[in-house]
Amino acid sequence: MTPIAYRTVPFSHGWLWIRLAFRMYRRKPLMWIAYATAIVIIGALLTLIPIVGAFVFQLIAPVLNGGMMLACHDERRLQPLQFNRLFSAFSSHGSQLVTVGGIYLTGMLLVFTGPSMMGSDPVIHLLYSGLNTPQALQQLQQLPLTLSAGFVLGLSLLLFIVMLMAYWFAPALVVLGNQRAIDAMKLSFSACAANFPAFFLYGVIMFILLLLATIPAMLGFLIVIPIGFINYYISYKDVFRHQ
């Protein structure tokens, strides 16, 4: 397995990625909408299965993301897009991508369940109890944020960011860079850390676009969500430019 080098890109590339992703999207919008819609529907159907379904989706999500990376690569090379390309990574890189999903799932479980086991602070208990009733929210507003609760929440947020950084480039590194799951996640984390300013700008702009996408009638999601998937590829090709 050949090691892959990454580079540090300018802060402004966080906006450049979105522009390039939109340029790719508008060439064949219906196909990108079909890809993104299929992923959302698969996720929604699996989460209807109690307990197991959500876990299964988290395991196969990197495989679907890998299929999107292959579709983006086809489009970049001016090859025709086919809908079944979304599922092609199951046969070519399925085991490694499911491993990525398993590691990511484990990290997310620690993020969302770990704090509730790190003490009996009432703020932590309410936040991670799953209760979203008006009474629970009102009680939460009246509770003071203690130092221990702030520490636990900060640690949870840090772990969430670490797992997101380890995941971001991993599917592309597996299917396009021929990396194994653990190596891909390590490399993804390092590359994201080296390009944190660009990712910060990207995150701010995407957050704003997601808010705007709700107007009118959330139709903007038909643009923003596919662009979000395409951006995994665009940022990969920029940071790992020689690939």
Mean pLDDT split into 10-residue runs, the chain, 243 residues:
84 97 96 96 94 93 97 94 96 96 91 62 56 52 60 79 96 95 96 97 95 83 95 96 61
**pLDDT for position 142:** 57
| Domain membership flag for residue 4 | no
**pLDDT for position 111:** 78
Buried b (16+ CB within 10 A) or exposed e, 186-217: ebbbebbeebeebbebbeeebeebeeebeeee
Predicted model pTM: 0.86
Q: 3-class DSSP state for residue 70? A: helix
**pLDDT for position 119:** 54
| Domain membership flag for residue 141 | yes
- Token look-up 């990290």 returns 107
Q: How far is CA 115 from CA 15, 108, 123, 129, 154, in A?
A: 34, 12, 11, 11, 10
Q: Which domain holds residue 112?
A: 13-239
Instruction: Report the distance separating Cα 193 and Cα 164, nearest Å.
Output: 11
**pLDDT for position 144:** 58
| Domain membership flag for residue 6 | no
How many alpha carbons fall within 13 Å on the CB side of residue 90? 9
| Domain membership flag for residue 229 | yes
With a CB cutoff of 8 Å and minimum separation 6, the contacts of 168 are: 188, 192, 232, 235
| Domain membership flag for residue 8 | no
| Domain membership flag for residue 72 | yes
Instruction: Report the distance separating Cα 29 and Cα 131, nearest Å.
Output: 39
| Domain membership flag for residue 123 | yes
| Domain membership flag for residue 18 | yes
Please tell me the total count of domains within the chain.
1
